[in-house]
Each structure stands twice: as structure tokens, then as C-alpha cells.
Amino acid sequence: MSESNDLRVAVLGVGAMGADHVARITSRISGARVVVVNDYLTEKADEVAAGIDDCRTVADPLDAIADAEVDAIVLATPGTTHEKQLLACLEHRKPVLCEKPLTTDVSTSLNIARREAELGRALIQVGFMRRFDEEYMQLKALLDAGELGRPLVMHCVHRNAAVPSYFDSTLIVKDSLVHEVDVTRFLFEEEIASVQIIAPSSNPVAPQGVVDPQIAILRTASGKHVDVELFVTTGVGYEVRTELVGERGSAMIGLDVGLVRTATPGIRGGRITPGFRERFGRAYDIEIQRWVDAVRSGINVDGPTAWDGYAAAAVCAAGVESLESGLPVDVQLADL
């Protein structure tokens, strides 16, 4: 670390998510500063670096990782590049916060998890930010305290107003459902044993050939049931809700509608969050701050691990298989 004891961070990929992290570390996070930025659009990297004191652009992401003046990495590059970049982080023994996915397929995710395990040192944290959302943390505390008794069923809703043009049916599983997969594993502390994707009638305004909405049915190793409504072309707003039902009661989070009012002619309503940044902005702040604190303390990881990234990839791969067949598919997890 630098003489000031600040963690010197390189942010790789400064598109929407990466640029948010640069701004977050620069203005709202203590104990860290961005010293290097990288992006395949070099002019974008130059623009971001120009707005930060003592920050420079490094054209090659692998050179940025290896840079002697970089202590840790925030990886916000496209998922297809993650494997090579994560391997470089492991080679140089540098902690890394990797935005999901860990990698784009199960085999490479397993390879990353195994390579890290061989080092005998945790270095990779995966950016499943919902674990740091205050409502999810409250729900987790409620469960851990036993106030709901044994959890039995969980109902989830994941809706977007719209998604990018490249989104297809499989990305609804791999890019949207993946969050509920991690939430399930986080709350219940057990693996998901099977997944089934059911396709109701498609939204008429969904892009041609895109199966939307989808219903996911997850079954955990001990038999807990989780159902998820995935609907990414609602045209309304960003809605993420979770209701957990236990043997002694239930609890719901995600009713983020602001002021609820009634109006003529008998309408009751409020404000729906427009996007994920508004809904989970505070969670991202907490996530990055806790990661910085962990790296500075030598722990390196305070959140989802490489194994969590691999397990999520394995569940989503089974989900894509079920999307094609409509049948339940068992999740296959390898050993480290």
C-alpha cells in the first residue's frame, strides 16, 4: 500500500458499472483511492482518469494488474475477459473484487476457484451486492435469530422496465436469476439441488424470440422451495421483492414504493424504483467499503467468494438447460 496507507486500486472496465465504482471510491469510500483505470475504449479511460488526482491510464489490463503501484483490483470488464484477468490477479497475489459473473461458463469458474484454493489464500470476492443491502441483511439476521422458525418457502420477484437489445432468453437466467440464486444460498446457507424454468405466455412487447416472463423453481439440498418471477420487459420500473415464509411467520423486503397514497378514482400507489442503481446504490457503497477494509486488514474477502461465483454459474447452467426442456434439472457441483 501507499505511504498514506490508502489502498491503491486499479479499476478495469469503466463503462457504466466501472465508472460508478470509480466515483464511489473517489467520493464515498474511505481508505482507498483509484490510481489506475483501464478500458478497451482508451478515450473513455483517459476521460475518467483525467478527473482524478494522481490517476493514470494503463492500456493493457494485464499490465494494470501487474503494476507495482496497484494493490488491488476492481474488475468491471465484460464477463468474457474475466478468466484471464482473474488468473493474472492470482498470479500476482492481488485481491480483486470481480463483478458477476465470475466467468461466463461453469468449467472456467471451477478452474478459477480451484486455482485460488491451490494458493491457500482467498483473493477473489464476487460482486453479488444484494448481500450488502440493508433489507437483505435484516432478513438474514431475522433468520439467524430463529424468529421465523425453520424457513420453508421463499417467493421472489425480479422485474425490469427494459433490458439491453442483446438480452436473450438465456440471459434472463444468467444475468437476472443469478441474483436470486445467490440470495437463496446466502439466506439458507445451503446449496441449490435442482432448478426448473417454466415459460408462461410471453409478453407481446418482448423482443422477438425472447421468453419473458419466466418462472424459476429452485429446490435446496434440504428441500426448501423458492419460486422466482422473472419479468424484464414490464415497461414499468425496477422491482425486486423477497418474501420468506417460516414455520412461525413470514417477512417481506423490497416494498420500496416510497409514499403510498390514494387518489381519485380509488387508486392507491406510490413510486417504483426506476433502476438497480437507485435500488441498490447504498448496497454497492457498503460492499466496496467492506471490501476495502478487508483488503487493508489482510483478510482480502468479506463477502461472496470464488466458490459462490462457481456455484451460481452451475445453477444457472442447469437453469438454461431447463429453459430448453421445461423439466427440472439437477445441479452438478464439483469438489475443489
122 belongs to a structural domain: yes
Looking up residue 197, the CATH number of its domain turns out to be 3.30.360.10
Looking at the structure, do residues 83 and 11 belong to the same domain, yes or no?
yes
pLDDT for position 69? 97
Residue among 203, 207, 228 nearest 217 (CA): 228
Looking at the structure, do residues 135 and 267 belong to the same domain, yes or no?
yes
pLDDT for position 171? 96
Please give the chain's pLDDT, 336 residues, in tens.
655 789 999 999 999 999 999 999 999 999 999 999 999 999 999 999 999 999 999 999 999 999 999 999 999 999 999 999 999 999 999 999 999 999 999 999 999 999 999 999 999 999 999 999 999 999 999 999 999 999 999 999 999 999 988 999 999 999 999 999 999 999 999 999 999 999 999 999 999 899 999 999 999 999 999 999 999 999 998 999 999 999 999 999 998 654 444 445 666 566 678 888 888 899 999 999 999 999 999 999 999 999 999 999 999 999 999 999 999 999 999 998
Looking at the structure, do residues 194 and 318 belong to the same domain, yes or no?
yes
- Residues of the domain holding 296: 7-130+281-305
> How far is it, in rounded angstroms, from Cα 246 to Cα 151?
4
pTM attached to this predicted model: 0.93
246 belongs to a structural domain: yes
> How far is it, in rounded angstroms, from Cα 169 to Cα 315?
16
264 belongs to a structural domain: yes
pLDDT for position 277? 81
65 belongs to a structural domain: yes
62 belongs to a structural domain: yes
Number of domains in the chain: 2
Looking at the structure, do residues 183 and 318 belong to the same domain, yes or no?
yes
pLDDT for position 259? 43
32 belongs to a structural domain: yes
Question: How far apart, in Å, are the Cα atoms of 322 and each of 173, 215, 248, 264?
Answer: 10, 11, 33, 45
> How far is it, in rounded angstroms, from Cα 268 to Cα 210?
32
15 belongs to a structural domain: yes
> How far is it, in rounded angstroms, from Cα 42 to Cα 37?
10
pLDDT for position 255? 84
pLDDT for position 261? 44
> How far is it, in rounded angstroms, from Cα 160 to Cα 172?
11
> How far is it, in rounded angstroms, from Cα 100 to Cα 103?
8
pLDDT for position 216? 98
Q: Is the omega angle on the peptide bond into residue 78 within 30 degrees of 0, that is, cis?
A: no
Looking up residue 60, the CATH number of its domain turns out to be 3.40.50.720
335 belongs to a structural domain: no
How would you class 212 by CB atoms within 10 Å of its CB: exposed for 0-12, middle for 13-18, buried for 19 or more?
buried
Residue 166, C-alpha cell as written in the block: 442483446
Looking at the structure, do residues 82 and 194 belong to the same domain, yes or no?
no
* Degrees to nearest 5, angle at CA 150 with 144 and 155: 90
Looking at the structure, do residues 111 and 122 belong to the same domain, yes or no?
yes
> How far is it, in rounded angstroms, from Cα 114 to Cα 171?
26
